Structures are given as C-alpha cells and as structure tokens.
Amino acid sequence: MEDINTYRHSTSHVMAHAVKRLFPEAKLAIGPAIEDGFYYDFDIDKPFTPEDLALIEKEMKAIIKKNYPFIKKTISREDALKMFKEKGEIYKVELLEEITDPEVSLYEDGDFVDLCRGPHIESTGLIKAFKLLSVAGAYWRGNEKNKMLQRIYGTSFTDPEELKKYLSFLEEVKKRDHRKLGKDLDLFSTTDEIGAGLIIWHPYGALIRRTIEDFWLNEHYKAGYNTLYSPHIAKLNLWKTSGHTEFYKDNMYSPMEIDGIEYEIKPMNCPFHLHVFKSSLRSYKDLPIRYAELGTVYRYERSGVLHGLLRVRGFTQDDAHIFCREDQIEDEILNVLDFTLFILKTFGFEKYDIYLSTRPEKYVGTNENWERSTNALKRALEIKKLSFQEDPGEGVFYGPKIDIKVKDALNRPWQCSTIQVDFNNPERFDITYRGSDGKEHRPIMIHRALMGSLERFFGILIEHYAGAFPLWLSPVQVKVLTIAERHRDYANKVFSLLKDKGIRTEIDIENEKIGYKIRNATIMKVPYLIIIGDREVTEDRITVRKRSGENEGLLSTNEFIEKLKDKINKKEIDL
C-alpha cells in the first residue's frame, strides 16, 4: 500500500467522480490530500447540503465496490486543453495554461478522468474506510477576488477502526470548540458590525484575561523586566527603518494620512522598544535591559482564515525585548527558556515540541551574524537538554528563532512561545552602548513572546480545559445556592464573606428548585457550589460541592476560604 497521502488523494478522486455523477454541472477545481484527510473544490451554483454529502458517500461506495483501476495516461498539453475545454472544466483549463511542459498526466477510474500528477493507489476497491466531514466556502486559489467555490472535506483510513477512533476524536474536538464554548460561557464575541477578526471580551472573559495579565506582570517584575506602553500607530517611516514594509507588507494595513504624513497602524511593538532604549545614553553596566509590553497589534489576515480567537486581525502580544552584550546572549536565552517553560507549566502545559528555525530565503544581515545567533539558540537548547528539531528556512527576516508548540489535552500542537535573536534592528535603528573600553558598541536584541498572543492563548486554554478552567483562572470560582427563601440571609452573609476575601463569587437566591440551580451553575462550569439549607443555617456551616458532582460535606466558611486561597495562590490545575 502506498503512503497515506496517496491513499487519501485517491479517495478525493473517488469523491470527485461521485460528485460528477450526481451533479454533472459541477466544475472541478483541485483535490489534494491534507493532514488527516483530503478535500476537493467544486464550482456549483447551489451549495452542498448534509443530505447531498450522504448521497455522495453512497455513490462513492458504489464506485469503490466496482474496484476501478486508477489508470495513468500521458497526453500532450494541447490535447488536454482541448479535452477540458470541451468538457467546460474552466479551472482545469486555467491550470493547464500555466503548465509549460509539452505533456501532462491524466488519471482515469471508470468513466471519470482528471488532470493529476499522481500517484494513486492501484484501484478504487482498496479504499476501506472513509467519511465526508463538512462543506465550506473556499475562494479559488485562496484569492478573495476569485469566485467562491464549495469545498468538501473528508478523511479516509486503511483500517475502519482507525476511522472510528478519528471520528470520536473529532467529536471531542467539536465539544471543546472555543467558539461554541465562548458563546455558551459568555466569554467573548465577534460581530460583522464591528469587523471580522476583532474580539470583544465579555465580563467573564475579561476577568480571566485580567487574571492572566496580573500573573504575567508579577512574574515579569520578579524576572527583572520593566513594562512599557506604546502607541497603536506610528509614522510609516518607522516601519521602513525596521524592514517591515519590505518583508512584512502583505500583513500590514494601508497607511493613513495625518497632517500630510503617512502613518501606519502597528503590526509589531519592537520599534517602540528600540526607541525607548535609544532615548538615553547606555553603558555596558546597564545591560541587560529587559522591556516587556502587553501590546495590541493589528495584522491583515484573509477573511477565509479567520477563526475565532485563533486567527484574528487585532491581538495583544505578551511581547518583550532584551538588549544585551554579545557575551550575555547565552545566559539571556537560557533565562528566557526557563521563564517560558515555567509560564506554560503554570497554565497546565507540560508537553510541547520545540523547533529551531533557521535563515529564510529573504533576510537581512550578514551570514556571519546569522550563524552566530543560530548557534547561540542551539547551544542554549542543548545546555537545557531540550529535544528539538531544526526547521530550515522558517526564521523571521531579521534572525533565527526557537518556536515552542504546546500540546493540549487532545495532544494537538499549538504555536505559542518564540525566542528570536536579532543583530539587525539594533543596526537599522543605530542603537549603541558605551563599553568598558570607552567606545560605542552595538547591543544584541532578543525578541520573545511566552504565550504568543492573549487572544490565541485564551482560545487554546478554552479548548485545553473544555471551558472548565482551573480554580485560579475561573471567572466565577464559587456560587452560593439556596434551597429555600428562608435561607437567603445566611446565604448573603456567606456570599459577602467570600467576596471580602477576594474569592470571585456569585449568588443564586431565586425561588427555584435546588436541582435547577445546581444544573445551571454546572453548565457554566463553576468550580465550587455552596449549598445552603436548614442544617447549614443551624450549624453555621456550608455544604460544598465540586462541579464534578463530588460532595465535600459540611465545612466552616472560614475553613473553606483558607482552602480556596491556598489552591488559588498555588495555581493548582486540579480541583
């Protein structure tokens, strides 16, 4: 059996075959294998429905049962053009017109023929297990100026049990979808009236964000960082100096004119930090200098790739820049690695993949500086005995980097942390320090982000915990519930005491059944519920119930508060 990509690409051809049988008017675009599956794009006037997918699956099974061989044919490009023009396959014609080879390959299975480089499996009958998953709109070639096509996603496996496991995994992914949970738990929203990719933080989400920010700020003060705030716009020339207009233009918005001068909404915080360093005379004794900022930046993302909190157009980076002497680089990278892994562990991420990204095709600076900075990053990883893979050509234009991809509860990797060494911006902005020899020297700049962006990191946290955040992060840590109206006064007393001690608490004293109140609080994933009834009032105690349903029994309010404060201060992950 050929590799899984060949197998899945062959399944996409069977799907296209089935679509053409059922919907002859559909025009074919492309159908590659992708991670965990495949897709095929079709130009069809009426969008595919779930009922259509069921019919397509049925037709695919009939094609598989026929066990048609996949037959490769090589014909002249001109003959292929003629054939696809006669068929009205305008997308295949467009692809052919860009091919310069005199001959092209086609693949046939039964009465279906497609333009394809291949390879394919031997025959359709070798496809053992598949499932069509969803339909989405997709611009032809990813360009918003082109027509919107219908993309059918699917997956296939050689073992039916593997397909079953994968579909169960997708169900779990669906349950954890941060967009659904964000709405259900009233954490955040987006709306077309404000703009795609722009996040509105609701009170509960904002509470979690503030908790994250406070933790971040406190730990940065401990680690010797000074915090900054920088403007949201700056003169366009600033971004010309930094190199962003040359290397990052596609991700930047169009400049605006103010008083006859072009300004740009900021895609990065780095140039501002460089100017803070430059604002005073610096000595070798001052270094390293560490600046940190929770800075909101704006980057253009195509509408087709926007995805809840994970791909947005405005986001807040947990950004920092370290200015140091060359002899300090290794120690600073080691410190940042320790700091990064500490932060990730505190949020419950202890599994990750690490990549060392090297010089890209388009870059600035000398090869010598690139080699020195790459070696410094590599040495630090080796000293810490951290396993890593090299990712050739994936560095940023101004320097190499370490990327850390955390793995969530479903073992999915997410790009979060990055550490980058930069010899180039200090030169571009002409920043210097006075060395021990009395001469001017150029500092090294280290860019780093621990969480990446607050929006993306929050989305990952939602999915990692399926919305059931650890106690220290939960927007509501305790909810006080009464069984009857006569328990209200005592419940309010408990509620006030918890609030006074800094516990994020809500109270439900409405005249509803206790089962209903417990169910509502559990749906909102509140970590602890306090039940107040006759016994609790009489004994001046509280009954505590975890969101898991486990009952912790009768406790004094002060005893419970001390227990909570200890868990919160320790930032325990488990309840």
Known catalytic residues are: 270, 299, 317, 319, 321, 401, 447
The continuous run of DSSP H or E covering 383 comes out as helix 367-383
| Sheet with 256-258, edge to edge strand ranges | 233-235, 261-265, 256-258
CA 139 to chain centre: 22
Distance CA(451)–CA(421), nearest Å, equals 18
Which pairs with CB-CB distance under 8 Å and at least 24 residues apart come from 512-521? 514/481, 514/482, 514/483, 517/481, 517/482, 518/481, 518/545, 521/479, 521/481, 521/547
Contacts for 230 with CB less than 8 Å, ≥ 6 apart: 266, 269, 272, 273, 293, 295
Residues recorded for the chain: 575
Instruction: Tell me the C-alpha distance between 341 and 291, whole Å.
Output: 19
Secondary structure class of 549 (helix, strand, coil): coil
Let me know: does 157 contact 36? Beta carbons within 8 Å: no
- Note if the bond before 527 is cis, omega within 30 degrees: no
Of 355, 346, 574, 327, which Cα lies nearest the Cα of 469?
574
Distance of CA 562 to the CA centre of its chain: 36
